[in-house]
Amino acid sequence: MHADERPSIATLVRRGLFALPLLVALFASAAASAEADNAGAVVLHAARLLDVDTGKILSPGEVLVRGERIVAVGVQVDHPVAARIIDLGDRTLLPGLIDAHVHLFLHPGAEDSQTFNESVPERTIRATLAARDDLMAGFTAERDMGTEGAGSADTAVRDAINHGWISGPRLRICGNAIDILGGHEDAIGFNPDQHALSNATYANSSADLVAVIRSQVKQGADFAKIYETGKDRIAGDDFSSPYQFSEDELRAAVQEAARSGRRIAVHATAEPGTGMAARAGVASIDHAYQLNAGTMAVMREHGIFAVPTFTVLEYFAAHAATPEAAARYRAIQAYHIGQFKLQLAAHVPIAVGSDVGPFPHGTQAREFALLVQNGMTPLAAIQAGTLHGATLLGWDKDIGRLAENYYADIVAVPGNPLHDISALQRIDFVMKNGMVYRQ
């Protein structure tokens, strides 16, 4: 026998070198380890499964999950003996939803006054509840677009979720947004002697932008959010919003963020700010009420996402303090819808973002219905809230589709969401990272 050739167990038994009890114990331990491997395995079974890449419905649909990852997807997958089988009946399985524009640190009715009336610890506690509500509604990943005055408190929320201390979506966070002195979201209109604080962090030059971004990175930010336009004005069909940072300043911010593999998102509603942001190379233009033809071409060419936010305007219009304010919100929404149809025709990449926070957390799947109402197909809307969201968050190799080796972020809806997109508002099964949070 060659030195590194090892005799098989059968050979050893033949040679009488192995006692039978030992052999039994060996087999038993092999079986036990296979069982341990499958002990955490889960098979999800439902009437349908949506392949978001192709729009194909598998019927029935099954997913085998082991640990935090998907092992197999198909009409029928392996059912390991020790696996837990979850039969979801007349439902459709699809990837967990991704909201690329949320505010965990905002709640309805107090949007602007929160910075003044509520402490950061109080707001952080509420943010953890908001994160739970969003997850339970099927949003397994989110990009939090600014704490609006709570600084880097979102770092703690993201990390607590990652540690498993609290329930919530996977998060990309940015701390405070960045604005100019006297610009959008600065605390304008208060008694100057009271020195009311902006809910964002000031930067008034390229050098300031670099310094603020570095400081936010130190505090845990995954990306930076910049207010590029505001305040919005509408008169008839004439919509405008002044820009805040110059194109060169935005370019400096994009370059500084890129140095450490990060990206910039802008709140930008109108030209020329939207175009300046696109040419500077931001990752997304949020709200994006107005994009001219040149801007849309740049966005298409460079894969810059428009993140329309229809639900928040619908909510503001329905809950406005005065009829005049409601009319103004409705006029902006009508303008936004008209422009959105042009953006769809121009094939601008779209990611779902609801701007939830000013309206109740956990209700933002309404955004999908509005995207469809305003011209998207149900499949395109679902792709915008899964595949595109994953790309925008920089997680396209890990989430956004049901595929082998992706994280097991999976939801189920009653019926078929391609026939009735509002089904996404009735998600009643949520798995994130292989763990069932709602059933």
Contact positions vs Zn ion (CB under 5 A):
145, 355
Q: Give the shortest CB-267-to-Zn ion separation in angstroms.
A: 6
Indicate the residue among 350 and 402 with the shorter CB distance to Zn ion.
350
Indicate the residue among 314 and 428 with the shorter CB distance to Zn ion.
314
Q: Specify the 3-state DSSP secondary structure of 157.
A: helix
Indicate the residue among 105 and 407 with the shorter CB distance to Zn ion.
105
Indicate the residue among 232 and 355 with the shorter CB distance to Zn ion.
355
DSSP annotation of 389: H
Beta-carbon count within 10 A of 284 CB: 28
* Integer Cα distance of 307 and 97 in angstroms: 15
Q: Give the shortest CB-145-to-Zn ion separation in angstroms.
A: 5
* Integer Cα distance of 110 and 118 in angstroms: 10
Indicate the residue among 92 and 114 with the shorter CB distance to Zn ion.
114
Strand 61-66 relative to strand 42-46, pairing? antiparallel
Q: Give the shortest CB-52-to-Zn ion separation in angstroms.
A: 25
Q: Specify the 3-state DSSP secondary structure of 303.
A: coil
**Which class for 220: exposed (0-12), middle (13-18), buried (19 or more C-beta within 10 A)?**
middle
Q: Which of 287-309 are b and which e, b meaning 16 or more Cβ less than 10 Å from the residue's Cβ?
A: bbbbbeeebbebbeeeebbbbbb
Structure tokens at 111: 């949007």
Q: Give the shortest CB-106-to-Zn ion separation in angstroms.
A: 8
Query: Starting at the edge strand that comes first in sequence, how are the strands of the sheet with 170-172 ordered?
Result: 97-102, 139-144, 170-172
Q: Tell me which residue has its CB nearest to Zn ion.
A: 355
Q: Give the shortest CB-184-to-Zn ion separation in angstroms.
A: 11
Q: Give the shortest CB-225-to-Zn ion separation in angstroms.
A: 8
Indicate the residue among 179 and 355 with the shorter CB distance to Zn ion.
355
